[in-house]
Amino acid sequence: MDSNKITREYFERILLEMRHIDNVKPDTRMRLWGEEFSMPIATAALSHLNNTCEKGMAKMAEGAALAGALCFSGMGEEEELADMCATGAKVIKIIKPHEDNQVVFEKIRQAEKYGAFGVGMDIDHAFTGSGEYDNVFGLPMKPKSAEELRSFIQSTKLPFVIKGVLSESDARKALEIGAAAIIVSHHHGIMGDAVPPLMILPKIAQVIAGRIPIFVDCCIESGMDTFKALALGADGVCVGRAIMGPLKEKGALGVQEKMEQMNRELAGVMARTGFAKVSKIDDSVIWKI
């Protein structure tokens, strides 16, 4: 089955109770690695947005900066990363699991050179659906061992994020090797019948136990989706396809407007469920059908 369809349907099975007495105006700010952001909503690690609009990646970063939000970035050339960082956005560069580790180390150096906020790796892009090593736009990929990932982490002072965690096992290993954060994701359905991120999130959150931040990716479309992810154990979410239309139509301003809209929706849900701060949101208001 289509993992995105399963994921979307799981979101809709999660309902919320309302709480009104003693509520206050909510604060949606989030802190990460000593920096404050206006929202717990980040851009997803998208790639190739120049096909959406001219300098699409830089405009995505600019929109995130205008919204006071974090920006994850997917694969791309050095010049593109330089343009993104030059917007003033806090950019976390997510690197593919290239077969040649020297390519990975070089991309880490580029992130350091241009002042990226962090780096990371997309661990779930190592295989094709037929079990062969993946090849992305002519670039050979290969799965990484815990020791290889540890070597990447230890090679830089930048915080290192492991993206593509969808099990307690990988969450535990990410902690053991020194990851600074994880992204719970099935890479927009890279495998059929993948468990919805929000279904496994509470178990992963138990493993992480607050030691590092958890972001959630896949099918995040609204402030309500964001709230549900936070309630089930996330510290932040990544929004991808929901910003692509606004990016195409209005560039950076479209990204800013969409992210701010989602943040207002989040504040509205917080106000009606009795949570004053995003860090205080929990699953006590969650009902599942």
Which positions are annotated as active-site residues? 187
In the block, which residue shows the tokens 């998208």?
Answer: 46
Q: Within 13 Å, how many C-alpha atoms sit on residue 240's CB side?
A: 17
Cβ-contact 212, 179 below 8 angstroms: yes
Q: 22 burial class (0-12, 13-18, 19+ CB within 10 angstroms)?
A: exposed
Which of 235, 215, 213, 99 lies closest to 166 in space, CA to CA?
215
Enter the tokens of residue 120. Answer: 């990371």
Give the separation between CA 218 and CA 98, rounded to whole angstroms: 23
**Is residue 199 helix, strand or coil?**
helix
Between the alpha carbon of residue 130 and those of residues 123, 126, 133, 190, 191, the distances in Å are 17, 12, 9, 12, 11
CA neighbours within 13 Å on the CB side: how many for 134?
18
**Angstrom distance (rounded) from CA 28 to CA 263:** 7
Residue 47 near residue 230 (C-beta atoms within 8 A) = no
Dist. CA 190–CA 201, nearest whole Å: 18
CB atoms within 10 A of CB 17: 11
